[in-house]
Structure 1
Amino acid sequence: MTKKSIVLVIISFFLLFTSGCWNRRELNELAISVGEGIDNDKEGKYKISTQIVIPAGVASKTGNAPSDLPVRLFTGTEDSIFEAMREITTKSPRPIYHSHLRILVIGESLAKEGIGEVLDMFFRDHEYRTDFYIVIAKNTTAENILSILTSIEKIPANNMVSSLETSEKTWAPSTAVTLDELIQVLVTEGKNPVLTGIEIIGDPKSGHTQQNLETIDPTAYLKYSGLAVIKNDKMVGWLNQEESKGYNFIMDNVKNTVSDVTCPKEGKFNFEIIRSKTEVKAMLENETPKIEISIKSEGNVGEVKCDIDLTKQQTITELEKAIEKDFINLVETAIKKVKEDYSTDIFGFGDAVHRADAKAWKTLKSDWNEKHFSDLEVSVKADVKIRRLGKITNSFINEIKE
């Protein structure tokens, strides 16, 4: 037998004991999780909630019977997240499959205690991807959030994801944060993360029933509301809508939004941002750090509710100055709120100082949040250009005769 023949025999022998599908799992044998939540209880244990897709409910055209519900919610409570997830198997007839997870909800109570230990399992386990979104349940539990049924998107977790992505792109106060992005900020010196809050509007008890899907005006629905401020790995408070918008301006997260701006004399008008760019520059003067924020935005006049003449260039200039003043106020208000109430650098000013002068940062970082950030001098500039006035110039409302 030739050497080549011997090699072929050996390869054939090994192929007999090798299977390309040794770890295959059929879809009809799995419970696919698309949304998960974590809460804590009075005994210090973790409560896991997982939203499982029911294929028959998703495919159903009627959705009138309880059996046609598109998802089921399973829960498990144990000393660790890993154990709690396994405890769910005592209730679910199928093993939970996590690779299609789209959103993780953390209860506000647990977020205040710390999310570091919570994230370790999700980041470590090979079955979880790292591109799912993380949000905080505002004034409620993660279990309650995942129990609310939605009408437009049959699968509630998909509804939460779509709403978060749409809100981030068109409304500025929200921000979509994935697991890998959150971990990156948590381990970055001079920067602390934020997470978008989600709350229940209406009656939570009726929100998880079929009735919530059968009315034109749902008795309960989910709404994204504000940003949760995280210091180290603990939630310390909330930013309201305007403060959250100011935060996103600083972080260059504003893609498209609408601002309600006061007219030069009286009344208001809406300005739609179509492009925006923010630059944050750090410097040290006499060993004292300073920050310069520069915002450049372009947009269109969206709605006019005041007596102004848009045919005049002077009017356009006055409106641009009014918008610039509004943007500067948004940013300064957000910075003041975070400095005075939370003393935690969520804007990454410390990281900017680190990049500008690594040597100086070594002496500043030990007490950055408590001392230097609170006393930090921040200057804000805005440059706004109005590009379009819409299909008309001056509003016809001024021409309506009494």
Structure 2
Amino acid sequence: MRIAKAMILLVFVILCGCWDRTEINDLAFVTATALDLTDNGNILCSLQIAIPASIEGGRSGGGKDNQFFIISAEGKDGNEIHRKLQKKSSRMLFLSHRSVIFVSERLAKHGIGDVLDIFTHDPKNRLKTYIMVVKGGEGRNILKMNYPLKQVSIEAVKEMEISGEDVAVTLRDFFITYASEGVHPVAGTIEPDIHTKDTDKEIFNFAGSGVFKDFKLFGLLNEKDTLGLLWVTDKLKTGRITTNLPNGGEVGLVLNHAHSKIITQPLNNSVQFKIRLEGQGSLAENTSNLDINEPNHLKIIKKELENAVKEQVQAFLFKIQKKYKVDSVGFGQEIYKNYPEKWAVLKPNWDTLFPKASIAIEVSLTIKGAGMVHSSFGSQAEGGEK
């Protein structure tokens, strides 16, 4: 009798366990979202949705057919917009495959606190989604671009961002930084390629990063500034440094290893910082007359590259310290970690104290090899004539 009851219960569980299952054919896979600000102050939300045939591999990447389509809706809040978007789709919107959220520069400067609030409340929104600012343009225009190397262009953005040369910030990273002591969040920026005139072949470029304060975009950093940001915050994986030499010519170093350390030196009513930057790489370019096989010449190149790094980082620090006055590196966080009692005193006035803080920079580079680069053809010719 007990066995019979157990069998009946098991059958009941099996029959009822999948009553609310949603079939894959009933889902619309959202791969990216774009958020723009309209002239009347509303939010225009656009979704890039993968066409099912693309997901299943039914179409080749070389075909002219699009692998996605876009729907848009305008509203004042996230719930209203989501309701309107769902009405435009015959399938249930599925957000777990979304890779990137694009925010127009105009909306970012206006403020994105209310816009991002919905992403923290709805469990369907993945916090590992990347967030990017569209420099000088609208987010929805990025969604329309066809990227030749990927069936869905947004996957290209995802892979390019995590390569290590650009700022890759997820919603989770953004929110954690915002809630942390003594540091303000940043986000990567993207822009259409202005050199491409064929609309069917438009591509995008990474254009540096943007610094935020109180969920508002305070300023933009170019690619050199962004390299400095990544290096100082110990997040740089690879990069390239070039500099002109005093005697003419240019040298370039490709970094394959970088490290940084911020040393805090508290004073009575202020604080000083020292940034130690270390890098290792190989020369990838040499148009000078210096022979890198000569130890003295290599020392000259090393010194000039170190000076170039120092000037580049100083230019980055000037922007966040003097121009934007936003602690995007986390110098305040360093005080909080190492001297919490000191931070309790400085915190109320940190926005005023940070622009006046003294920051010294030390750079040490190690050139491990010259790769395929030796002395320039010009110097070789001169040497042959002699």
Relative to the length of structure 1, the TM-score reads 0.88
Alignment map for 1:199-214 (pairs within 5 Å): 199-202=191-194, 207=199, 212=200
Counterpart in the other structure of 2:252 = 270
2:117 to 110, 116, 120: 120
1:182 aligns with 2:174: yes
> Which has the higher mean CA deviation after the structures are superposed, 198-207 or 271-280?
198-207
Report the CA distance shift for 1:321/1:205 in structure 2 as closer, same or farther (over 3 A): closer
Counterpart in the other structure of 1:32 = 29
1:253 aligns with 2:235: yes
Report the CA distance shift for 1:346/1:62 in structure 2 as closer, same or farther (over 3 A): closer
User: What one-letter code is carried by the residue in structure 2 that aligns with 1:21?
Assistant: C
User: What one-letter code is carried by the residue in structure 2 that aligns with 1:117?
Assistant: D
CA RMSD of aligned residues (A): 2.2
Report the CA distance shift for 1:252/1:119 in structure 2 as closer, same or farther (over 3 A): same
SS across alignment from 1:229: strand
Structure 1 residue 176 displacement after superposition: 0.4
SS across alignment from 1:59: coil
- Residue correspondences, number: 380
2:274 to 292, 296, 300: 292
**8 Å contact 2:210–2:220 — kept in the other structure?**
yes
**8 Å contact 1:123–1:179 — kept in the other structure?**
no
User: What one-letter code is carried by the residue in structure 1 that aligns with 2:34?
Assistant: G
**8 Å contact 1:197–1:228 — kept in the other structure?**
yes
Counterpart in the other structure of 1:215 = none
1:279 aligns with 2:256: no
Counterpart in the other structure of 2:103 = 106
**8 Å contact 2:61–2:150 — kept in the other structure?**
no
- 1:73-112, Cα deviation, whole Å (9 max, x unpaired): 0111122122212211222111110011111101111111
Structure 1 residue 392 displacement after superposition: 5.5
Structure 1 residue 325 displacement after superposition: 0.9
Structure 1 residue 61 displacement after superposition: 2.9
Alignment map for 1:347-366 (pairs within 5 Å): 347-366=329-348
Counterpart in the other structure of 1:387 = 368
User: What one-letter code is carried by the residue in structure 2 that aligns with 1:161?
Assistant: K
Q: Which runs of 5+ in 2 are unaligned?
A: none
Counterpart in the other structure of 2:70 = 73
Report the CA distance shift for 1:124/1:203 in structure 2 as closer, same or farther (over 3 A): farther
Partners of 2:251 and 2:197 in 1: CA distance: 40
> Which has the higher mean CA deviation after the structures are superposed, 373-382 or 142-151?
142-151
Counterpart in the other structure of 1:158 = 155
Partners of 2:318 and 2:219 in 1: CA distance: 14
Partners of 1:338 and 1:81 in 2: CA distance: 32
Report the CA distance shift for 1:84/1:164 in structure 2 as closer, same or farther (over 3 A): same
Report the CA distance shift for 1:88/1:266 in structure 2 as closer, same or farther (over 3 A): same
Structure 1 residue 12 displacement after superposition: 4.6
User: What one-letter code is carried by the residue in structure 1 that aligns with 2:306?
Assistant: E
**8 Å contact 1:261–1:271 — kept in the other structure?**
no
Partners of 2:270 and 2:88 in 1: CA distance: 59
Report the CA distance shift for 1:397/1:50 in structure 2 as closer, same or farther (over 3 A): same
Structure 1 residue 350 displacement after superposition: 0.4
Structure 1 residue 38 displacement after superposition: 1.1
Structure 1 residue 14 displacement after superposition: 7.7
> Which has the higher mean CA deviation after the structures are superposed, 386-395 or 106-115?
386-395
Structure 1 residue 307 displacement after superposition: 0.3
**8 Å contact 1:225–1:241 — kept in the other structure?**
yes
> Which has the higher mean CA deviation after the structures are superposed, 197-206 or 71-80?
197-206
Report the CA distance shift for 1:392/1:228 in structure 2 as closer, same or farther (over 3 A): closer
Structure 1 residue 244 displacement after superposition: 1.7
Partners of 2:280 and 2:61 in 1: CA distance: 46
Partners of 2:245 and 2:195 in 1: CA distance: 39
- 1:347-381, Cα deviation, whole Å (9 max, x unpaired): 10000011111111112111212x11010010110
**8 Å contact 1:226–1:244 — kept in the other structure?**
yes
**8 Å contact 1:283–1:356 — kept in the other structure?**
no
User: What one-letter code is carried by the residue in structure 1 that aligns with 2:380?
Assistant: E
Instruction: State, as a whole percentage, how many aligned pairs show the same letter.
Output: 24
1:193 aligns with 2:192: no
Partners of 2:380 and 2:340 in 1: CA distance: 62
**8 Å contact 2:167–2:208 — kept in the other structure?**
no
User: What one-letter code is carried by the residue in structure 2 that aligns with 1:352?
Assistant: E
Structure 1 residue 62 displacement after superposition: 7.6
User: What one-letter code is carried by the residue in structure 1 that aligns with 2:225?
Assistant: E
> Which has the higher mean CA deviation after the structures are superposed, 257-266 or 197-206?
197-206
Counterpart in the other structure of 2:48 = 51
Alignment map for 1:285-324 (pairs within 5 Å): 285-324=267-306
Report the CA distance shift for 1:111/1:391 in structure 2 as closer, same or farther (over 3 A): closer
Counterpart in the other structure of 2:208 = 226
1:373 to 346, 350, 354: 354
SS across alignment from 2:86: helix
Structure 1 residue 165 displacement after superposition: 2.3
Partners of 1:53 and 1:160 in 2: CA distance: 15
User: What one-letter code is carried by the residue in structure 1 that aligns with 2:367?
Assistant: I
**8 Å contact 1:202–1:221 — kept in the other structure?**
no
Partners of 1:364 and 1:15 in 2: CA distance: 66
**8 Å contact 2:36–2:44 — kept in the other structure?**
yes
- 1:180-214, Cα deviation, whole Å (9 max, x unpaired): 1110001112101111111112499963xxxx1xx
